[in-house]
Amino acid sequence: MTGNITFDYKFKHGCPHSLVEDMSLTKEIAVTPTQAKIIRHPIEKKKTLNIISGPGAGKTTTLVNKVAYMIGEEIVKPEKVLVLSMTNRAVDGFLSRLQDQLDEETAALTDIETFHGLAHRELMKYDPSYGFSELIEDPGWRVLGIMSGVKRKFELQRIVELLKTRGLTADERDEIASKHRLSRETIDELFKILETSQAVTYNEFLRDYKRLLRDGKIKTDYDVVIVDEFQDVYPELWELVELLARNSHLIVAGDPYQSIYGFLGDNGIVQSQLEHFHEMDRVEMYDCFRSPPEVIKSSEYIMETDRGVKSYLKGEKPILMKMRDSTEQFEYVIDEIMRLVTESNDAVKLGDIAVLTRTNRELEELIKMLNKYGLDTLKLSSSPSWCDGNLFYLVDYMRILNNPQRSHFAVICTLLLLPEIGPVTVRNIEARARRNKMSLYDYLVEHRDKLKPQLQAYIDVMEDTRLSLDPNSTSDIMDKLLIIADELGLRKFISRSILFDDDKNHVTTQVLDFNESLKMFAHLKPDNQTVLEYFLQSYMDRLPISTVKDAVKVSTIHSSKGLEFPVVFMIGSKPALLPREHLSPEDRRVYYVGMTRAKHLLYNTVVENKDWPIDMGRIKKEAGHLFQFNSPVLSESLLSKFRPSTQVRSFHTRPKTSQPLIVSSLIKGLRLWQRTR
């Protein structure tokens, strides 16, 4: 059953007051009883509303509607609402939906941010120098790995976090060295580099922001704090929520079965602390408007639970196929994608299909195979393609061009790209600069004539570029960055990883995406900053993402969270999906997330290996009622789900009983008012 919530939205922002002084629009939102209960739940300070949601229950849309309702009914002012989520993609999606409900300027008054974005923004307000902090990104971790000899990025990140939080005394550094089987000299050198360069991690922004909040040096005054995807909040983030919401009404929403970031911290600890934070009401959302019952039942079979999630959709049993090896698996996926598109007479399009993997390594292998067979792919990420590869060194060059004296870590990173310049040379130069109490760049300039030819060329190129660069011209910035990359080793470094045409095409895409990002920031920048300055200050908070094209979407399961696709292939990994007794709790939750991305068709492939033998006879006996074991027949009833509907539909997808979601923006209201006066 569904019903409607109606409220009057009074225009008070973004319009000439004389035009709209007494004007309002009536808004009507189609909702289920549970969603209505959440939207109308009273706002009381120092109380918590905990929303437990199943997959596809309209959780985020309900939160958007609640914000619109609170503002429309004048329960809270828009600037008194803070919404926090984990990714830029989630933040942008929330803001876009809220703009559909309210006018753009009112929606913009609400504070919708990632945790790290909020911390970075508020720190910049407190001290503008935070805007130019050297954040350690992928190239930086590579360089720190070279300098320290630690090959595993995750282990290196743990060491750096320990040094940042505990490694201030000799005994503490001894403890870190012993724990990670490194020499004390290596730890000391790493500590000196971090201290001198002032390179920071994302968690440092959080720690500094929390410290300033505790000390009262930064103050907040929110009436309502909303945390979406609460199952992903780890203890360090929860400490920030506690500080922000200590005197506010707190709303948290999430699905414990989709908690798949345990490596960041234990959400179980957070859930326990939530119970004792404020007086709390709990509401459960178990109507599913995305996946059919067959997908829900099979995913809950993997979890060995039944939460009573209800779906009123009609669908197909998930397909489960056993493969001898990864090659056969890739070939099956490719053949099936081709069959779906061709035999459906284009009812199923490439853009309807997503292939999900457990690991990034599997993802890269998948992309190469799909491209080899002529299938275009779109890698899903919460940031542009250039952020997760070697092209990120361009940002280091930009830092040096903008302010070389404050780009210590960027200089270290880019020096190591030069031919025949290794970590010993860079360590020695960095140590001499430190002894002379000079920035690394100034030391190189002052001692240019005594340096190796490669280092002399480095200084010459950088100085010439700094003198000739137009920091407000995106074309000049891009042209000169590519020249620097060519002359100072980056192009050669990247070319080592180019083995096939697909690799070359990927780099080309990254360059185009980078140029697109530059142009976007050129449009967004304030008048008192150059494009170069604004990009460096803002790229970590708001990165434009490339336009989606009609291609097979590929992603790790982790990156697919919050998304949905008409067709999902979840390719086999270790351990296999079945038999389920081999799965850890974390494995089960990851597979649960992947399976519940599917709207119409879900394919699961399992690859046999010596560690996990797969007995299909046993699987069919135990789970045959939940899966089908052959490729599905493309019936007319199935294909009709892929064809565009001519009916007006609400934000959820129950076809017979739902009412349309009526959305009227400020601009639409003004035009209507002008036509009728």
Q: Which residues are annotated as a binding site?
A: 53-60
Half-sphere exposure of residue 455: CA atoms within 13 angstroms, side-chain side:
22
Give, in degrees to the nearest 5, the angle at Cα 165 between 162 and 171: 70
Decide if 166 contacts 120 (C-beta within 8 A).
Answer: no
Taking Cα atoms as reference points, which of 435, 639, 564 lies closest to residue 55? 564
Positions of E strands within 335-382: 353-357, 377-379
Q: Is 30 exposed, middle or buried (0-12, 13-18, 19+ CB in 10 A)?
A: buried
Task: Please list the alpha-helical segments (H only) found in 357-439.
Answer: 360-372, 393-402, 408-415, 423-435
Per the CB < 8 A criterion, the answer to whether 666 and 14 are in contact is yes
Cis peptide before 575 (omega within 30 of 0): yes
Is 103:13 a contact under the CB 8 Å cutoff? Answer: yes
Residue 352 structure tokens: 């309807």
CA distances from residue 260 to 230, 383, 590 in whole angstroms, order as listed: 12, 19, 6
Q: Write out the DSSP string of 174-232.
A: HHHHHHTT--HHHHHHHHHHHHHH-EE-HHHHHHHHHHHHHTTSS----SEEEESSGGG
Instruction: Please state, in angstroms and rounded to a whole number, the distance separating the CA atoms of residues 313 and 317.
Output: 12
Instruction: Specify whether the CB–CB gap between 595 and 295 falls below 8 A.
Output: yes
Residues comprising the binding site for ATP? Answer: 53-60
Tell me the three state secondary structure of residue 543: coil
Q: How far is Cα 45 from Cα 244, in angstroms, rounded to an integer?
A: 12
Residue 15 has what DSSP assignment? Answer: S
DSSP-assigned letter for residue 275: H
User: Cα–Cα distance between 89 and 85 in angstroms, integer?
Assistant: 9
Tokens of 140: 């930086």
Give yes or no for a contact between 393 and 139, defined as CB atoms under 8 angstroms apart: yes
Phi, psi of 486 (to 5 degrees): -70, -40
Range 422-430, long-range pairs (CB < 8 A, 24+ positions): 423/146, 423/147, 425/452, 426/147, 427/147, 427/189, 429/455, 430/193, 430/196
| CA dist., res. 563 & res. 55, Å (int) | 10
- The Cα–Cα gap between 356 and 553 comes to 8
β-strand pairing of 224-227 with 279-285? unpaired
| Runs of H (alpha helix) within 22-169 | 33-40, 59-72, 88-101, 104-109, 115-126, 138-148, 153-165
Q: Which two tokens stand for residue 306?
A: 């039944």
Per-residue tokens: 551:
């291609």
Query: How do strand 279-285 and strand 377-379 relate by DSSP bridges?
Result: unpaired
Cα torsion angle, 214, 216, 218, 221, sign: positive
